């Protein structure tokens, strides 16, 4: 069998490697437009930062062997034509027209099965100056090398990153590591649009504590030069003022590379603009498969097409395509949008639906904001993890989880992804038999605690109120009691605006100080004591008692520090 694979970074090499294992006599050719093969694109920010020292480390196997054309030929028995562009697909005669980038020579490659793994390209905004020398994306090895060169030669100090998504945020840390003054310019009201705004705001607040300026709701208008050399940018003009810039990073997002598929008449998804495939990774032509960042996925919760380009997804899809090319019957079931990124010492991660997305789909929801340490609180390495959980109020089914903070978030999001895939409810989640030892987790894991908080809300034991609603009450001058039940020492260090202190231990004997005709909102550091206080108040006959979701730890607005 002759197999031609267009694309040599993630899905393509994965498909090729699986095919040759299943069919050792297959004739496989990988066509890759770029010079570099099978490199770890997600590692580029860490190469820019210097955490990854050598370029070759991005292209090595776990055994330290570089995945180049020689490696693929001698180890995998795969032919590789890198620096070669696929020009067109002749579906009738089952062949691909290719051209050498170096020499211009053209040839036809015949196939029995074709795999399109053409990936995606960075979005370049239609604004003046994007073609100047010190303007980069962070999409390939060439971009990373260009950024490192400018950092080394010109000692760049001011960096403007246009776009506050995953790529932009990861690039922020990489450049701040070099001592750069970094500004993120994001047109949307928040960075990291994969998260609900409260979680994104917590990340934004933390980023700013690391010296990064974040300008949300801001549009870049032009990249300008105000010096003697016209081919570089010196300033970024925005609708909120001008920013000096020695380097500009365009991190707006990516679009699927579908021109080859379009010209061949393959079906393109109307909603996503990516190549439409079935659950076997077949395109509208049964002899042509597609995988990776060029294809649309199906959301496992909604059943709707979506576009979530991730290296993890690309590798899984490449394997599924390979199995089916070899006569197997493997299904790719879709995605939950599980994503994670490192933000200085914080993680920011999610899986499933955000509250915003779930509401748009018509769900009636239970949500809970639950901070807590990621292991036994008495362990010296314990760190706070800030979690939001989203569930269907009518069925109790878990719909989504988001986390941020310095604590261990990856394993909680991964457990949540598994639970969502299994269709688990809050009750089932709360009784998961998760591993426990003080150095690794608390006796009641963060995810189990979050499920229990949501169950308490569902069952009426706790009435929560989001920070946004409390902030609105404060701004509108509404008359309510904002009750801090921490210790006096904690209150003196930091507290929330318009709040009154009555420590939890003194609450029962000081009930007379609290007006019974007013709404009472209780809080503490993480709202555990706030919850206890609400139970005391309700048992004492107070009828309008709520608990601030997430307490001070997840309050996204300004706090009062005496």
Helix (H/G/I), strand (E/B), else coil: 51: coil
Confidence check: pLDDT of 154 > 80: no
pLDDT tens, position by position, 30-71: 999 988 888 888 899 999 999 998 988 888 888 788 888 888
CATH number of 2-120+255-325: 3.50.50.60
Confidence check: pLDDT of 532 > 90: yes
Angle between helices 197-209 and 166-176 (to 10 degrees): 10
- Confidence at 72, pLDDT banded by 50, 70, 90: confident
pLDDT tens, position by position, 80-129: 999 999 999 999 999 999 999 999 999 999 999 999 999 999 999 999 99
Confidence check: pLDDT of 562 > 70: no
Domain ranges of the chain: 2-120+255-325, 135-252, 345-458, 464-554
Average pLDDT, the chain: 95
Select from 441, 350, 435, 432 the least CA-distant residue to 399. Answer: 350
Res 191: pLDDT: 98
Ramachandran angles phi, psi of 255, nearest 5°: -125, 145
Catalytic residue among 42, 180, 297, 524: 42
β-strands 305-306, 297-298 pairing: antiparallel
Res 67: pLDDT: 84
Select from 519, 518, 523 the least CA-distant residue to 500. Answer: 523
Average pLDDT over residues 359-387: 97
pLDDT tens, position by position, 285-323: 999 999 999 999 999 999 999 999 999 999 999 999 999
pLDDT tens, position by position, 314-324: 999 999 999 99
Res 56: pLDDT: 86
| CB within 8 Å of 53: residues ≥ 6 apart | none
Cα–Cα separations (whole angstroms), residue 339 to 129, 369, 517: 32, 19, 46
Average pLDDT over residues 377-388: 97
Structural class in CATH, domain 135-252: alpha beta
**Range in 69-83, 244-258, 382-396, 479-493 with the lowest mean pLDDT:** 69-83
Share of the chain above pLDDT 70, in %: 99
Q: Which fold has domain 345-458?
A: Enolase-like; domain 1 (3.30.390)
Helix (H/G/I), strand (E/B), else coil: 225: coil
The radius of gyration of the chain from alpha carbons, rounded to an integer in Å, stands at: 27
The number of C-alpha atoms within 13 Å of 221 and in the hemisphere containing its C-beta is 8
Select from 119, 118, 81, 134 the least CA-distant residue to 103. Answer: 81
Res 233: pLDDT: 94
Which CATH number is 464-554's, of 3.30.2010.10, 3.60.20.10, 3.40.250.10, 3.60.15.10? 3.40.250.10
Distance CA 329, CA 326 (A): 9
pLDDT tens, position by position, 191-233: 999 999 999 999 999 999 999 999 999 999 999 998 767 789 9
Confidence check: pLDDT of 331 > 70: yes
Beta strands in 232-330 (DSSP E): 235-238, 241-244, 247-250, 254-256, 288-290, 297-298, 305-306
- With residues binned 3-state (H G I as helix, E B as strand, rest as coil), the percentages for the chain, rounded to 5, are 30, 25, 45
524 noted as active-site residue = no
Sort 511 into a burial class: Cβ within 10 Å, 0-12 / 13-18 / 19+.
middle
Whether 135-252 and 464-554 share one fold: the answer is: no
Average pLDDT over residues 145-165: 90
Res 289: pLDDT: 98
Average pLDDT over residues 152-176: 91
DSSP 295: B
Mapped to the 3 state alphabet, what secondary structure does 103-122 carry?
A: CCCEEEEECCEEEECCCEEE
């Amino acid at each position: 069998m002759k197999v031609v694979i267009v694309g040599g970074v993630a899905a393509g090499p994965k498909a090729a490697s699986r095919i040759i294992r299943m069919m050792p006599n297959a004739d496989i050719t990988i066509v890759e437009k770029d010079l570099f093969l099978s490199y770890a694109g997600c590692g580029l920010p860490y190469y820019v930062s210097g955490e990854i020292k050598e370029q070759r480390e991005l292209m090595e196997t776990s055994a330290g062997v570089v995945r180049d054309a020689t490696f693929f030929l001698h180890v995998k028995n795969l032919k590789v034509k890198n620096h070669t562009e696929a020009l067109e697909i002749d579906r009738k005669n089952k062949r691909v027209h290719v051209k050498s980038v170096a020499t211009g020579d053209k040839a036809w490659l015949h196939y029995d099965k074709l795999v399109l793994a053409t990936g995606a390209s960075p979005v370049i905004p239609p604004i003046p100056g994007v073609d100047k020398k010190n303007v980069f994306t962070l999409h390939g090895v060439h971009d990373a090398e260009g950024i490192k060169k400018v950092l080394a030669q010109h000692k760049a100090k001011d960096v403007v990153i246009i776009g506050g998504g995953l790529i932009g945020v990861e690039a922020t840390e990489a450049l701040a590591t070099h001592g750069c003054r970094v500004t993120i310019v994001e047109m949307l009201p928040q960075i990291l649009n994969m998260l609900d705004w409260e979680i994104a705001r917590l990340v934004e607040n933390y980023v700013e504590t690391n010296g990064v300026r974040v300008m949300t709701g801001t549009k870049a208008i032009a990249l300008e030069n105000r010096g003697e050399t016209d081919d570089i940018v010196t300033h970024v003009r925005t609708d909120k003022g001008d920013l000096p810039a020695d380097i500009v990073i365009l991190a707006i997002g990516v679009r699927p590379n579908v021109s080859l598929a379009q010209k061949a008449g393959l079906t393109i998804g109307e909603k996503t603009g990516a190549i439409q495939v079935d659950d076997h990774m077949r395109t509208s032509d049964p002899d042509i498969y597609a995988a990776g960042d060029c294809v649309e996925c199906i959301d496992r919760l909604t059943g709707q097409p979506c576009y979530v380009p991730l290296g993890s997804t690309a590798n899984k899809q490449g394997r599924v395509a390979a199995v089916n090319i070899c006569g197997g019957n493997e299904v790719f079931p879709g995605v939950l949008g599980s994503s994670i990124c490192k933000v200085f010492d914080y993680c920011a991660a999610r899986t499933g639906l955000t509250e915003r997305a779930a509401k748009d789909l018509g769900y009636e929801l239970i949500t809970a904001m639950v901070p807590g340490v990621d292991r036994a609180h008495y362990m010296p390495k314990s760190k706070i993890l800030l979690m939001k959980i989203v569930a269907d109020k009518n069925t109790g089914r878990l719909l989504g989880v988001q986390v941020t903070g310095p604590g261990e978030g990856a394993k909680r999001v991964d457990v949540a992804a598994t639970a969502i895939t299994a269709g688990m409810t809050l009750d089932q989640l709360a009784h998961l038999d998760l591993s426990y030892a003080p150095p690794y987790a608390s006796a009641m894991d963060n995810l189990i605690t979050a499920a229990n908080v949501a169950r308490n809300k569902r069952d009426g034991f706790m009435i929560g109120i989001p920070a946004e609603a409390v902030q609105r009450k404060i701004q509108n001058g509404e008359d309510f009691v904002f009750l801090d039940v921490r210790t006096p020492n904690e209150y003196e260090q930091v507290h929330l605006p318009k709040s009154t202190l009555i420590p939890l231990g003194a609450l029962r004997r000081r009930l007379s100080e609290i007006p019974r005709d007013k709404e009472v909102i209780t809080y503490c550091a993480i709202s555990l004591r706030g919850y206890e206080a609400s139970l005391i108040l309700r048992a004492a006959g107070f009828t309008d008692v709520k608990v601030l979701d997430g307490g001070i730890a997840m309050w996204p607005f300004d706090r009062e520090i005496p």
